[in-house]
Structure 1
Amino acid sequence: MEPVTYELKVPATLQIHNMFNVSLLKPLVQRRRCGAPPVPSRIDVDADVEFEVQSILDSQNVWGKFQYLIAWKGYGPDENSWEPASHVYMPVVHRMFHRLLGKFYTHLLKHPVPQSEDRKKYDREFAVSTSFHGLHKIVGTRTRTSKILWMFVVLGSVFIVSWQIYTRFLNYFSWPTTTSVTVQYVNNIDFPAVTFCNLNRYQTQAVANLSIVFFLWSIVSAVLHFSTVDGNSKFSQEISEFLQGNQNFSIKEFTRNYGFYLNNSTLLKCEYFGKPCYPKDFEHVFTEYGNCFTFNHNSFDRRRKVSVSGRGLSLLFNIKQSEFTDDPALGFVDAGITFVIHSPEKPPQFDGLGLWTPVGMHAHASIRQLKTVIQEYPWGECNPNIKLKYSTIYSTYGCVQECKARHIQNQCGCLPFLLPGNGMECDLEKFYNCVSPALYNIEILGVCSVGTHNTTCPVPCEETEYPATISYSTFASEKAVKFLSMKLRKSSEYIRKNLVYIDIKYHDLNYKMTQQQKALSSTELLADVGGQLGLFCGASVITVIEVLEYVVTNFYWMCIFLLLKLVEVPQCTPAAPNQLKTVQQC
């Protein structure tokens, strides 16, 4: 044949010419299927090849011609096609589809759209009977000028009330807050816990080279605050040699045994509300200052409430400067006692918060109880859903400690003994080679971040603190020095260089509460919006329902009108009874 003409083998039943131009042809694309494809059901009607319909999926009206979306039996969804209604011969499915469509159409016909006059009458009745002020004036006024005037008044009122409501909602969703400060006077108040530490941490005769011990403790105690130790320091070689020669050395046990201790020789006097207290009433705790001791801790059985101001805890310490020492190269150049006042449920935090009392001084600490209440997000920055695993109450400091413990345990496979948790204790080699770099990464990457609601450790929703006002006087007087010298059998110089006197008492029986509050509650917002509606439009909840009913009714009528225009159900006539199948022709 010619280059642009092809001869095709076509069924004889088609009764068409078998010569086609190349422009009318396209190659057959075979689809890959799993297994043999089903053979389409074929029906021969009057020598025409036709295919059986599986279902009618949809219908549409195109330029006045009704069409069906057909799913062909034996073919996949890709072969679905739109066909004119007159080409469809499937009585059962056809009747079912039109029965449903007819019911829907009948429903629309039973609820016709009111005539234009009826709709106008409905609008007028709504304007006259509604409690929305001003509409009946527009409808009832006869003069054109009055109608226009009232129309401007109503539209102006609607605009103003819309603007007022918009600004109210805008203000509400900016989550405003107010802060109130109140002083509450009470008959009694809880006494806080107090943790004391000696600024000279280790016994002088404990080891030959205390500089190594001091440096090792600085590495260990770095986990309590974000700080790292330079691995290239001058002690690197000495530390390596020390660890090689002391394989079983434990800085924890060394500090416990050769750090500051509390007994009758270091605690010369202890009075708690006029009654004596003893070293056994203190609980040992490790801090960056080594061995420290907490009075009135959480398990203390003599905890009590203060009912009289000016009384509290009185302590007289002997720090024994000749027996205990520290390394000035690491910044420990003072002699005395440092202490921190905190809640019994919280761990002591010395980092920047401790109070210092030098030797030869009498410190008078006057405390107050300060409670802070922060709103949860989005009004405030607290997150009430965060709970600590190893503390009864949430605090930012406790959260950071637990966060660091988790990451160090995951990275190094051990847990520093200064951090809360359960796990294998890190040895000195792990501290030096793994824990210190891990702390550096935690700080650089901001893993244990503090502050806003989306940080690891947001601010607590409720917190109790004990700010103190401290004053000093020289201890002791000349007469007191002589008395103590005779009692302790020590010289006057020893008394002035080793003794520290501390008094801690409440200033007043009250507590100050700083509370963050919502500036606008949802109830106040609703009342404000209702006031604006009533002021400018005389509207209420009943008015809002009336307007909604009016809008919904008109919207329903509009939908019925559009559906009646779009839906046209074709009439189907029965085919001749002598056909083999029951065929309907549309």
Structure 2
Amino acid sequence: MQQTQKSRLLEKTRLYLVKKLLSRLENRRKYHQDFASSTSFHGVHNIVQTRSKTRRALWLLVVVGSLAIVIWQICNRFIYYFSWPTTTSVYVQYVENVEFPAVTFCNLNRFQAHAVTNLRIIYLLWSIMSGVHQKISVQVNFSQELNNFLLGNQNFSIKEFTREHGFYLNSSTLLECEFFGKPCYPEDFEHVFTEYGNCFTFNHNDLPQKRTVSVSGRGLSLLFDVKQEQFTDDPSLGYIDAGITYVIHSPRELPRFDGLGLSTPVGMHAQVAIHQLKTIIQEYPWGECKPDMKLQHHKIYSTFGCLRECKARYIQDWCGCLPFILPGNGTECDIQKFYTCVYPALYEIDLEGLCTVGTHNSTCPVPCEETDYPTTVTYSSFAGEKAIKFISAKLKKSPEYIRQNLVHIDIKYNDLNYKTTQQQKALTVAELLADVGGQLGLFCGASMITIIELLEYIFTNFCWMCIFLLLKAPEMPQWNLPSQEEPTNKEEKKGIQEC
């Protein structure tokens, strides 16, 4: 029954096509000639309408050659576009007022000497924590001392110990502070934990009263007393280094000391000239940034902040706690966890490459926009003999103490401008379309209308080919076709639509 209905439908379709389209199939040659004569594709009508075979052959060569060049040029433009090319532009803008960076200061000697005289284990633990920021190799050669310390200090918190016995900033360690001619005070600095222990960040945006910042003027001037007798970095070796280490960074980013910090030794005056460099990177596939990257515990995205959060996630999962210098709301790791879990976890993260940076498919791709402050530093001895005597009398310290403990740092802008380095797309979609349209117009006189004409022509010929194959299909039953002059009433009522 179903086969019979199918046969009837095929019969009706065949009858309709024979009746309606057979005459059109016979006029296909005329359709091709009309299309060639009327199309806006230049040169085609010269091939069809001319009677001279020589002229027709010449025009055929011209059209085919132009079409070949167009196809070659368009393919080259698409290949170039999908190579995701970029250009880099550098803009220099001269300004009077510019954002002053944040500056984070630390003492190279991290702990108060009286608190760590018999606690060499603190330096092992601090070395482990420093591995949160960079790859480390700690040689543990005093495990018995560590075990003895753990037995008697189950509730020991290295965070609280560092906060209480680390470097502090007050009127005795920060002797002078001046920001663009106005005094600043220790309370204007924010306390932060870094791999250098207690550090302090000066951010002019956090000052109670907004101050005018310009690229002229002295900038930020500070005089520190590092107090070598009171602070140490290793009680077994004494004072390894003495001075102030600091990093200049964007006010919206965290300080990063690994390879980026500056150091000024005691008895020296450092004059730091900075300039602002803003870098804008394109998103993948033109560049390597991912604009949708967000961080949970940082306001803006940075690779450094991303690495911190990545390591925090792994350590939280593996150890059930967090080192206090990593972001998060987890429980602080005690000493036992630091020794038995955190250090192996950090080693495993580095060994397996679980937290990677750089490319778009890494854990922490580069940010799409970042601001750096390249520096030029010059040094000179701090104060002459007369100045040393004056400062000595003012502070009631000996000249020898002044030379061995005081550090003077001046930070100011170098130029009346800032630079922006911007990575740009070498070829946008609009430029690609313009290139393609220019090639079509130059060699073929073609436009979007021409392309639509060609699509219509190809579609019509495709329909005719379908009809031809349908009429010649071998599986089609051979019916006795009625003459075209005698259509049936049934066909007239059906009104089957054309292909």
Superposition deviation, residue 116 in structure 1:
6.1
Instruction: Find out whether 1:568 has 2:481 as its counterpart.
Output: no
Structure 2 residue 107 is the aligned partner of structure 1 residue 191: no
After TM superposition, the structure 1 = structure 2 runs for residues 4-403 of structure 1, keeping only pairs within 5 Å, are 90=1, 93=2, 96-109=5-18, 111-114=20-23, 118-230=27-139, 233-296=140-203, 299-302=206-209, 304=211, 306-327=213-234, 333-403=240-310
Cα pair 1:327 1:333 within 8 Å, conserved: yes
Rounded Cα–Cα distance in structure 1 between residues aligned with 2:334 and 2:391: 45
Q: Identify the residue that residue 314 of structure 2 maps to in structure 1.
A: 407
For 2:269 and 2:183, locate their aligned partners in 1 and report how far apart those are by CA, in whole Å: 19
Identical-pair percentage: 68
Instruction: Please report the TM-score for the alignment, with normalisation by the length of structure 1.
Output: 0.78
Contact 1:180–1:514 under 8 Å retained in 2: yes
Unaligned runs of 5+ in 2: 481-499
The SS at the match of 1:363 is: strand
CA distance in 1, matches of 2:222, 2:203: 13
Which of 144-153 and 441-450 deviates more?
144-153
Q: Which secondary structure does the structure 2 equivalent of 1:229 belong to?
A: coil
| 1:156 match: secondary structure | helix
1:431 corresponds to: 338
Contact 2:282/2:368 (CA < 8 Å) preserved in 1? yes
Cα offset, 1:536, TM superposition: 0.9
Contact 2:228 2:239 in 1 (8 A): no
Q: Which residue of 1 aligns with 2:428?
A: 521
**Distance change (3 Å), C-alpha of 1:149 and 1:366:** same
What amino acid does structure 1 have at the position aligned with 2:302? S
Residue deviations 1:360-393, cap 9 Å, x none? 1111111111100000000000011110111111
Measured after TM superposition, the shift of residue 245 of structure 1 is: 1.8
Q: Which residue of structure 1 lines up, in the alignment, with residue 350 of structure 2? A: 443
Q: Which amino acid aligns with 2:476?
A: E
Q: Distance in 1 between matches of 2:15 and 2:205?
A: 79
The secondary structure found in structure 2 opposite 1:216 is helix
State the shift of 1:248 in Å: 2.0
Instruction: Render the CA deviation track for 1:525-546: whole Å, top value 9, x for unaligned.
Output: 1111111111111111111111
Q: 1:538 aligns with which of 401, 420, 445?
A: 445
8 Å Cα contact 1:199/1:332 also seen in 2: no
Measure, in 1, the Cα distance between the counterparts of 2:117 and 2:243: 24
The Cα of 1:94 is off from its aligned counterpart by: 5.2
Contact in 1 for aligned 2:232/2:238 (Cα 8 Å): no
Q: Give the distance between the partners of 2:411 and 2:441, measured in 1 at CA.
A: 60
- Give 1:135 deviation, angstroms: 1.0
Cα pair distance change 1:332/1:557, threshold 3 Å: farther
Distance 2:35 2:163 in 1: 88
Alpha-carbon spacing, 1:184–1:548, altered in 2? closer, same or farther (3 Å)? same
Verify: 1:452 aligned to 2:359, yes or no.
yes
Deviation (angstroms), 1:144: 1.4
**Closer, same or farther in 2 for the Cα pair 1:346/1:103, shift >3 Å?**
farther
1:24-48 deviation digits (Å, cap 9, x = unpaired): xxxxxxxxxxxxxxxxxxxxxxxxx
Q: How far apart in 2 are the matches of 1:479 and 1:107? A: 115
- The residue that corresponds to 2:389 in the other structure is 482
Query: Which structure shows the bigger proportion of residues in helix conformation?
Result: 2
The residue correspondences of 1:569-584 to structure 2 (distance < 5 A) are none
Aligned to 1:507: 414
Residues 312 and 297 of structure 1: CA distance in aligned 2, closer, same or farther (over 3 Å): closer
**CA-CA distance at 1:224 after TM superposition:** 2.2
Is the 1:283–1:297 Cα contact (8 Å) retained in structure 2? Answer: no
Higher strand fraction (1 or 2): 1
Aligned residue type for 1:394: Y
Offset of 1:150 from its aligned partner? Answer: 1.2
Cα-to-partner distance string for 1:256-292 (whole Å, 9 max, x where unaligned): 1111111100010011111111111111111111110
The answer to whether the Cα contact below 8 Å between 2:98 and 2:215 also exists between their aligned partners in 1 is no
Moved more, 494-503 or 220-229: 220-229
* Bigger relative CO (Cα 8 Å, ≥ 6 apart): 2
Q: May I ask how many residue pairs the two structures share in their alignment?
A: 479
Residues 25 and 464 in structure 2, CA contact (< 8 A), matched pair in contact too: no
SS across alignment from 1:260: coil
Q: Whose radius of gyration is greater, 1 or 2?
A: 1
